[in-house]
Structure 1
């Protein structure tokens, strides 16, 4: 069974390690892991040390299985990382559901997120949960020395209220 809780400051090292393992899996074939590993690890540590209050944690049998964040506490899901050894066991779904519930309670009608266009497993996961492509972009990444394709995804969380009669409620 997966339980969700808020992160604590002392979770930061474990969360960074999970983020790294999941990141490595997600960018294999897209980026040079050896060249980026140290800076990615530092980025995870810095992000988590500064933003742990915006992070939720998934646990299975008392072990941290994954984490997710809404960095600005708005409608954007900025991070969702599941330990690769625990993927496809409902951890990602539990994290996503918890974040969507928080987004609704905060008064937002949609949830937004982005990932790189070649992250096929993430795209499949989010599409399975009702997300659709909202935008595509290509930007140059100096760290990778190449163009990176990003996909923005969106899910309507609150059904639009139609007032009136007929289609569109005139």
Structure 2
């Protein structure tokens, strides 16, 4: 059974390990994980300790299987990680749906995220869920202490309403 909830303060180590495993899987496909492992581990620990209030967790049968975050509580999904042992089971889709719902309920018209330009699995996943690539750049990532080629993806979120004007409409 899938359950989605807010992260808890004492889960930082668990969440950082899940994020690190998912990150390693993505980066191994690009041949870059070994050189960056220590920096990535430190970045995950610091992030999950410092911003756990912005993290949404997904569980499968009571086991934490992934998480997503909106670090600045805006329309940007800053982190999205599913433990490799739990991929292709609908967890990413369920978690993304919940995050998008939260973004829309807070009045944002779109959801956005970015990932490494070589992370084809993540790019394909988000495109499958209606996201389109809007930019490509190379920028310094202080968490990893290096330049990273990234793509930005965005999706317009549907607004509630029946398309009419007046009380209860979204116009």
Q: TM-score range by the shorter chain?
A: 0.7 to 0.9
Matches within 5 A, 1:71-110: 71-110=71-110
Cα distance in structure 2, aligned partners of 1:34 and 1:16 = 17
Q: Is the 8 A contact 1:76 1:113 kept in 2?
A: yes
| Equivalence map 1:33-112=2 (5 Å) | 33-112=33-112
CA distance, structure 2, for counterparts of residue 148 and residue 14 of structure 1:
26
Q: Report the Cα distance in structure 1 between the residues aligned to 2:80 and 2:32, rounded to whole angstroms.
A: 22
What RMSD over aligned residues (CA atoms) do the two structures have, in Å? 2.2
- The secondary structure found in structure 1 opposite 2:73 is coil
- Measured in 1, the distance between the counterparts of 2:111 and 2:122 equals 15
Kindly tell me: are residues 9 and 140 of structure 1, through their superposed partners in 2, closer, same or farther at Cα, counting changes over 3 Å? closer
Q: Aligned in 2, Cα 1:99/1:144: closer, same or farther, shift over 3 Å?
A: same
Distance 1:113 1:67 in 2: 14
How many pairs are equivalent?
162
Following superposition, the deviation at residue 31 of structure 1 comes to: 5.0
SS in 1 for 2:51: helix
Shift of 1:2: 1.4
Alignment partner of 1:127 is 2:141: no
Q: Secondary structure at the match of 2:136?
A: strand
- 2: CA distance, partners of 1:97 / 1:32: 30
Q: CA deviation at 1:11?
A: 1.0
Secondary structure at the residue paired with 2:76? coil
Q: CA deviation at 1:29?
A: 4.4
Moved more, 130-139 or 45-54: 130-139
| TM-score of the superposed pair, with normalisation by structure 1 | 0.87
With normalisation by structure 2, the TM-score equals: 0.87
Unaligned runs of 5+ in 2: 165-171
Q: List gaps (5 residues or longer) in structure 1.
A: 164-170
Cα deviation for residue 116 of structure 1 reads: 0.9
